[in-house]
Amino acid sequence: MLKSFADIFEVPELKKKVLFTLGVLMAYRLGAVVPLPGINSDAVRMLFESQKNTLLGFLDIFSGGALGRFSIFSMGIMPYINASIIISLLQGAHIFPHLDRLQKEGELGRKKMNQYTRYLTLGLGAIQSLGLVYSLAKLPTPGNLPIIDNPSAAFYALSVLTLMTGTVLVMWMGEQITENGIGNGISLIIFTGIVIGLPRGLGDLFRLLRIEEISIFSALILLAVVLGFTAFTVFVETGQRKIPVQYAKRVVGRKVMGGVSTFLPIKVDTSGVIAVIFAVSILSVPMTLAQFFPDNSFWHKFMNIWNRGGWIYETLYGGFIVFFCYFYNSIQFNPNDLAENLKKWGGFIPGIRPGEPTAQYIQKVLERITLWGAIFIVIIAILPDILRQKMNAPFFFGGTSLLIAVGVALDTIGQIESHLIVRNYEGFMKQNRIKGRWFNVR
């Protein structure tokens, strides 16, 4: 394994790509620690320490700590991700015929779709930036320290403009990595924000061991659970349901074409992190609305029971994840189109008649595999709350962060392995190739 990593720097093209990617990620991390002007850093730090086990703490983990510092990259890449998801859903749902035409125009249509995504990113960034600044200004802090020194209209305008500029800059960094580096840039930026908290989490674990707030036995069990669920996530993320497909023989001139056997792969976890992001976005609406109402209003009373770890929140969380898993797969897969394409090219599933029976069979397999994938995502999503409540975990583990980290790591290592094998070097695994999957954003 160590020799395989050393081989990276033996290939000049791959070495250049890896160093370029690391340089851009370092620049991103530098921007994540630059705070907005006019912010009380001590009040922000105290606020996020008190909100560590809430939805706000989860969003801070997802941003790599940038939100907890109220930095210029506090919005991160989330507006771009949301814009990409919205465009993909509109395109898959066939709501706008213009988007369907762009999808069929190849590279030119893809560039036009990316342009629409950037425009939508600006709009979402403006709305989310204003909501973020306004919400944090209203949140109570320990000691009643004001987060904003002078909450004037000029401050709000400058903050929104700065956060929007930071989002555009992060988006540009991700595109540069995709074009000139290794891996998917947007995914790697999110991945960097997640793994940057691992050393801090391990430090907190050793601190608790030193002051004897957690026993060595409990710490070992906690680490075993973390490693076990990570391995299980890798297993599921690379898992596929292979539907066998046979192509009939046909004579073209003097050549015999077809007659081969292959398979139609359907991933166990097709929706990936998309379902979790959508579920979290919907469940965060009550918290956002509560910031615009007085402290004695219905919304603030409702927020007392609307916390991560409560049975109401977790039940709705799991239900939304299952719903969005099926919803995402329904717009990404069209069994009728798959069956029609198989029939057109002379392919068939053994034991299933071509046409409508094939479409029904694919739909049946897709519904069953989606159920197991949805159950897996629900388990991973509620894992952080279980670890915090039952095992007093000093770090956030599971959910969106685990799915993204595993998926991006597999894809990046897979791309590096492909470059090594093309140059006649061994891959990271001597026996089997690594099967990667990248975060599904445009």
Q: Which domains does the chain have, with CATH numbers?
A: 1-189+438-442 (1.10.3370.10)
Helix locations, 72-184, DSSP H: 78-92, 97-103, 106-138, 153-180
DSSP E strand stretches across 108-150: none
DSSP class of residue 9 equals G
Q: What's the mean pLDDT in 77-82?
A: 80
Number of neighbouring beta carbons within 10 Å of residue 363: 17
Query: What's the rounded Cα separation, in Å, for the pair 47 and 68?
Result: 8
Q: What's the mean pLDDT in 204-231?
A: 80
Q: Which of 301, 334, 38, 23 is nearest to 159 (CA)?
A: 38
Q: How confident is the model at residue 436 (pLDDT cuts 50, 70, 90)?
A: very low
Q: What single string gives the DSSP state of each residue in 62-104?
A: HTTTHHHHTBTTTTTTHHHHHHHHHHHHHHHTT--HHHHHHHT
Query: Global pTM?
Result: 0.73
State which amino acid sits at residue 408: V
Q: pLDDT tens digits for 221-275?
A: 878 877 888 888 888 878 888 888 887 766 666 666 656 778 888 888 777 777 7
| Confidence at residue 216, expressed as pLDDT on a 0 to 100 scale | 82
State which amino acid sits at residue 30: L
Query: What's the rounded Cα separation, in Å, for the pair 436 and 2?
Result: 20
DSSP E strand stretches across 103-249: 240-247
Task: Tell the residue number behind the tokens 């850093």, with chain if given.
Answer: 41
Helix (H) and strand (E) counts in the chain: 19, 5
State which amino acid sits at residue 215: S
Please name the helix (run of DSSP H) or strand (run of DSSP E) that holds residue 256, with its range, or none.
Answer: strand 255-257
Query: What's the rounded Cα separation, in Å, for the pair 155 and 144?
Result: 20
108 half-sphere exposure, CB direction, 13 A CA radius: 3
Q: pLDDT tens digits for 148-183?
A: 777 788 888 888 888 888 888 988 898 899 888 888
Q: How confident is the model at residue 2 (pLDDT cuts 50, 70, 90)?
A: low
Query: What's the rounded Cα separation, in Å, for the pair 320 and 425?
Result: 45
Q: What's the mean pLDDT in 416-436?
A: 62
Tokens of 262: 């292959």
Above 70 in pLDDT, residue 391?
Answer: no
Report which of residues 56 and 32 the model is more confident about. Answer: 32
| Confidence at residue 425, expressed as pLDDT on a 0 to 100 scale | 56
What percentage of the chain reaches a pLDDT higher than 90? 1
DSSP E strand stretches across 332-436: 347-348
DSSP class of residue 36 equals P
Helix locations, 238-355, DSSP H: 274-283, 285-290, 298-303, 311-332, 335-344
Q: What residues pair up with 242 in beta bridges, in sequence order?
A: 265
State which amino acid sits at residue 48: F
**Contact (CB, 8 A) for 125 and 75:** yes
**Contact (CB, 8 A) for 101 and 116:** no
Using CA atoms, how far residue 384 sits from 18, 59, 255, 313, 317, in Å, is 32, 13, 59, 14, 13
